[in-house]
Amino acid sequence: MNAETGRPDDRAIVELGRATFAQEAAALARVGESLDDSFAAAVHTLLDCRGRVIVTGLGKSGFVARRLAATLTATGTPSLFLHPVEATHGDLGIAGSGDVLLAVSRSGDNPEVTQLAGLARHFGMTMIAITGRADSPLAGLSNLVLACAVEREACPLDLTPTTSATAAAAMGDALAVALLTLRGFSRDDFAAFHPGGVLGRSLLMRVEQIMHAGEELPLVDRDLPLRACLPVIVEKRLGCACVVDRDGRLAGICVDGDVKRFLMAHDSPLDQPVHALMNAAPETVRPDELVLGALRRMEQRAGGPITVLIVVDDERRPVGVLHIHDILRAGIV
Element (H, E) at 183: helix 163-183
| Cα distance between residue 170 and residue 160, in whole Å | 18
* 3-class DSSP assignment, residue 319: strand
Q: What is the mean pLDDT of residues 16-28?
A: 95
Sequence ranges of the chain with CATH classification 3.40.50.10490 = 10-185
Contacts 24+ apart (CB under 8 A), 153-161: 154/20, 154/23, 154/24, 161/59, 161/60, 161/61, 161/106
Average pLDDT over residues 271-290: 91
Question: In the prediction, which pLDDT does 101 show?
Answer: 95
CATH architecture of 207-329: Roll (3.10)
What pLDDT, on the 0 to 100 scale, is given for residue 194?
56
Q: How far apart are CA 321 and CA 324, in angstroms?
A: 10
Average pLDDT over the chain, rounded to an integer: 89
Q: Is the pLDDT of residue 79 over 80?
A: yes
pLDDT given at position 151 = 93
pLDDT higher than 90, residue 81: yes
Confidence of residue 271 (pLDDT cuts 50, 70, 90): confident
> pLDDT of 290-314, one tens digit each?
888 888 888 888 888 998 999 999 9
pLDDT at 197: 57
Q: Which CATH number fits domain 10-185: 1.10.730.10, 3.30.1490.20, 3.40.50.1820, 3.40.50.10490?
A: 3.40.50.10490
| Amino acid type, 286 | R
Quick one: DSSP state of residue 52?
A: -
pLDDT the model gives residue 1: 60
Largest CA distance in the chain: 92
What pLDDT is recorded for position 99?
92
- Residue intervals of the chain classified under CATH 3.10.580.10 are 207-329
Residue pair 10/16 in contact (Cβ under 8 Å)? The answer is no
What's the pLDDT band for 2 if we cut at 50, 70, 90?
A: low
The pLDDT confidence band at residue 286, using thresholds 50, 70 and 90, is: very high
Q: For residue range 160-192, list pLDDT tens digits in order.
A: 999 999 999 999 999 999 999 999 887 766 666
Phi, psi torsion values for 68, nearest 5 degrees: -65, -45
Please determine, for residue 122, whether its predicted confidence score (pLDDT) is greater than 90.
Answer: no
Alpha carbon distances (Å) from 51 to 46, 62, 98, 176, 258? 10, 22, 5, 17, 63
Contact by Cβ (8 Å): 230, 269: no
Section 90-110 average pLDDT: 89
Residue (of 211, 191, 204) closest to 285 by Cα position: 211
Q: Considering only CA atoms, which of 138, 121, 263, 286 is closest in space to residue 207?
A: 286
Do 206 and 287 contact (CB within 8 A), yes or no?
Answer: yes
